[in-house]
Amino acid sequence: HVKPGKGGAFVRTKLRNLKNGNVFDRTFNAGVRVEQALLEKKDMQFLYRDGDDYVFMDMESYEQQNVAPVALGDAADYMVENSTAIIAFYNGEIVTVEIPAAVELTITDTEPGVQGDRVSGARKPATLETGKVVQVPLFVNPGDRVKVDTRTGDYITRV
């Protein structure tokens, strides 16, 4: 809410297009009402990949829904079979996919740790079971389960 010394007050906002995810600035005069989009959110479980699409199942009705990679965004890097997500719908179309802030995944490939190589804070690249590459401490080996922050892509801890 901005009230300049001269003229009427106005409100500066950042709005996000639900269909394509673009964010843009918009200024409204004070007192203008903006209709809020009503989203329907459902708990869904990721089942499998079907070509490029991700197939999710509604946990209540057991209906299956194909989700395009564009709707998943960065969440696609953390999707493994049977993982859960909250999917938001607007007028029957998927607009967002929310995943937990941290997920547990298995390391499929990384250089093995070398005995005596204990530099504090040193990191090495490791490939997760989803194909995403994250930086992990030197003591992490292939086959280890690790917890990863899905917002930043950072290693949290070994599980």
Of 35-39, 96-100, 129-133, 141-145, least confident by mean pLDDT is: 35-39
The CATH class, in words, for 40-98 is mainly beta
What was the pLDDT predicted at 5? 67
Q: In whole angstroms, what is the distance from residue 153 CA to residue 149 CA?
A: 5
What digits encode the pLDDT tens for the residues 20-75? 778 899 998 888 888 888 889 999 999 999 999 999 999 999 999 999 888 888 89
Cβ neighbours, 10 Å, residue 24? 9
Q: What's the per-residue H, E or C state across the chain?
A: CECCCCCCCEEEEEEECCCCCCEEEEEEECCCCCCCCCCEEEEEEEEEEECCEEEEEECCCCCEEEECHHHHHHHHHHCCCCCEEEEEEECCEEEEEECCCEEEEEEEEECCCCCCCCCCCCEEEEEECCCCEEEEECCCCCCCEEEEECCCCCEEEEC
40-98 and 102-158: identical CATH topology: yes
17 confidence band (pLDDT: 50, 70, 90): confident
Architecture of domain 102-158: Beta Barrel (2.40)
Q: In whole angstroms, what is the distance from residue 101 CA to residue 122 CA?
A: 24
For the chain, what are the domain ranges? 40-98, 102-158
What was the pLDDT predicted at 73? 85
What digits encode the pLDDT tens for the residues 73-121? 889 999 999 999 999 998 888 888 999 999 999 999 998 766 665 666 7
According to DSSP, the residues that pair with 108 across neighbouring strands are none
